[in-house]
Amino acid sequence: MDGPVYKLEQVVHSKVGMEDFEGPLDLILFLLSKNKIEIQDIPISLILEQYLAYLELRQQMDLEVASEFVSMAAQLMFIKTRMLLSMEDAEAQSEMEQLVKALEERRSSENYAKIKFITARFSEMGEFGRSILLKRPEPLERGRVYKYSHKPEELVAAWRQIEDRGERRTPPPLSNFSEIVRQEPYPVENKARDIMGLLQRGVSSFRLLFQDSRSRSEMVATFLAVLELCKARIIHLTGSASDCTVAATGESLDSLQL
Amino acid sequence: MNRDMKDLEAALEGILFAAGEPVHIDRICSSLEIGRSTAEKLLGKLHDYYAFERRGIRLIHMDNAWQLCSAPELAGIIRRTFEIRKPAKLSQPALEVLAIVAYYQPVTRAYVDQVRGVDSAYTVGLLLERNLIEVCGQLKEQPGRPRLYRTTENFLRSFHIGSLEELPPLPGMDDSGQLRLDDGENPDAAAE
């Protein structure tokens, strides 16, 4: 059992070269995959059982290959046993690590070969994606641009509404108010004329102008007439609030504009 | 096909057109008030119609999301119309990384590096940018908390596969347990 590690490596390397050679490493990988176990904890007994079963199948095979299997399995078990018996056995540890590393590398490189193989297919498949064009989603969030649709009749209905509202806006006829607002009984213009008459007859007291007034509205009309006459500078008032006199300025009544 | 089914098919077409983006089948079911099997039947019918009548659009699906796209054979004409260039082809390294992620997902970048035997940081970034792969988690208990990657919906669309189950089988991954690198179909590809 001197230098069996070299043999292991040789098997690993020869396999990488893709020879049509089913070495022990293939077997280990196969067994590993069958048991679905981690490389890190190879259960020797299980592998041994399956290995023996495998060997039976291979009895007709090339003896040289078969013998290499035996040597290989023995070596594997030897490493494993040493590892189990003495965890401090650095040499056994490193040998095991080497084996694990070799197995992992082997597995990666196999995976890589598979991946490389499949990329040719991928390249073809990817052509589809390079050839299709996609539409953007319709803007479901409506912007400011109006996008609803209407029937023409809706415009007619809208116009009718405007018309209805327009009728209501024109002012109601005066006759509607005849009962509420009657024509003023004492036109300011007449009152102004009366006042000028009074002034010509020598009346000068402001208070006397209201003497003939029979109602509140007549008094209001008289007062308004006084104001209008003052504004037109036809008359002018002098004195205080209690004693007020009225005098004509001499201006003609014609300049009064009501 | 009875009247109702025809109406449903039309409604389906309208929804897919307005959506533009992929629409999940559950959404279709709830808005049309139909069962999943009916929806699938209708979608299948619409898909076949576009393909058989050689219409300008096609119906594709990514897992359970359905989407309309332009017919691939019209790519040249459409590109000419809008003066757009053909998207760049994925490089061999990009295809390799993509394939590794596709078949072994979720994977860490370290795994990708290990399989390829070279650093793949740039390529992983490129694929992320192209939205062909995405981050789907983190290995919290491992040193460095490496991120995990998986393929995206865009990957399924770009490679015209309905789901990951439709990926072509990797050579030698058959159940016989035989590790064959060349499966006889294309021995040159493996030997490369």
pLDDT tens digit sequence for B5-14 = 889 999 999 9
Tell me which of B41 and A39 has the higher pLDDT: B41
pLDDT digits (tens, 9 = 90+) for A91-145: 666 766 777 777 777 777 778 888 888 888 888 888 888 888 888 877 766 667 7
Confidence band (pLDDT; 50, 70, 90) for B128? very high
**Which tokens belong to B24?**
């999940």
A95: exposed, middle or buried (Cβ count in 10 Å: 0-12, 13-18, 19+) = buried
The CATH number of the domain holding residue B28 is 1.10.10.10
Question: Per the CB < 8 Å rule, is A137 touching B116?
Answer: no
Collect all residues of chain B within an 8 Å Cβ-Cβ radius of residue A135: 17, 20, 68-69
The CATH T-level fold of domain A188-255 is Arc Repressor Mutant, subunit A (1.10.10)
Answer whether residue A1 shows pLDDT above 60: no
Answer whether residue A5 shows pLDDT above 90: no
Please indicate, yes or no, whether residues B38 and B116 belong to a single structural domain of this protein. Answer: no
Q: Phi, psi at residue B136, to the nearest 5°?
A: -130, 15
How far is the C-alpha of A226 from the C-alpha of A235, rounded, in Å?
8
Confidence band (pLDDT; 50, 70, 90) for A13? very low
Please indicate, yes or no, whether residues B116 and B31 belong to a single structural domain of this protein. Answer: no
- Tell whether B20 is covered by a domain: yes
- Tell whether B69 is covered by a domain: yes
- Tell whether B39 is covered by a domain: yes
Please indicate, yes or no, whether residues B111 and B156 belong to a single structural domain of this protein. Answer: yes
Confidence band (pLDDT; 50, 70, 90) for B179? very low
Residue A102 · residue B28 · CB < 8 Å: no
Mean pLDDT, rounded, for B71-83: 90
Confidence band (pLDDT; 50, 70, 90) for B134? very high
Confidence band (pLDDT; 50, 70, 90) for B47? very high
How far is the C-alpha of A16 from the C-alpha of A25, rounded, in Å?
11
How far is the C-alpha of B49 from the C-alpha of B13, rounded, in Å?
11
Buried b (16+ CB within 10 A) or exposed e, B50-89: beeeeeebbbbbbebbbbbbbbbebbeeeeeeeeeeeeee
- Tell whether B82 is covered by a domain: no
Question: Per the CB < 8 Å rule, is A134 touching B67?
Answer: yes
- Tell whether B81 is covered by a domain: no
Range 89-108 of B in CB contact (< 8 A) with A: 89-90, 92, 95-96, 98-100, 102-104
The predicted structure's pLDDT at residue A198: 84
Lowest mean pLDDT among B35-49, B73-87, B165-179: B165-179
DSSP assigned state of A208 = G
Please indicate, yes or no, whether residues B33 and B102 belong to a single structural domain of this protein. Answer: no
Lowest mean pLDDT among A236-245, B19-28, B129-138, B151-160: A236-245
Final residue of a structural domain among B75, B106, B130: B75
Please indicate, yes or no, whether residues B43 and B130 belong to a single structural domain of this protein. Answer: no
The predicted structure's pLDDT at residue A79: 67
The predicted structure's pLDDT at residue A69: 62
Answer whether residue B48 shows pLDDT above 90: yes
Report how many domains make up chain B: 2
Most A CBs within 10 Å, among B78, B181, B188, to test the A interface: B181
Tell me which of A258 and B97 has the higher pLDDT: B97
- Tell whether B83 is covered by a domain: no
Please indicate, yes or no, whether residues B131 and B57 belong to a single structural domain of this protein. Answer: no
* CA nearest to B102 within chain A: A115
The predicted structure's pLDDT at residue B115: 86
- Tell whether B86 is covered by a domain: no
Mean pLDDT, rounded, for A79-84: 68
The predicted structure's pLDDT at residue A160: 87
pLDDT digits (tens, 9 = 90+) for A208-255: 888 877 888 888 888 888 888 888 888 888 888 778 888 888 777 777
Lowest mean pLDDT among A9-18, A107-116, B28-37: A9-18
Q: What domain range is B64 assigned to?
A: 3-75
- Tell whether B61 is covered by a domain: yes
Question: Per the CB < 8 Å rule, is B69 touching A134?
Answer: yes
CATH 1.10.10.580 domain locations along chain A = 188-255
Collect all residues of chain B within an 8 Å Cβ-Cβ radius of residue A109: 117
* CA nearest to A126 within chain B: B159
Please indicate, yes or no, whether residues B68 and B132 belong to a single structural domain of this protein. Answer: no
Please indicate, yes or no, whether residues B156 and B115 belong to a single structural domain of this protein. Answer: yes
Of A118, A121, A129, nearest to B158 by CB-CB distance is A129
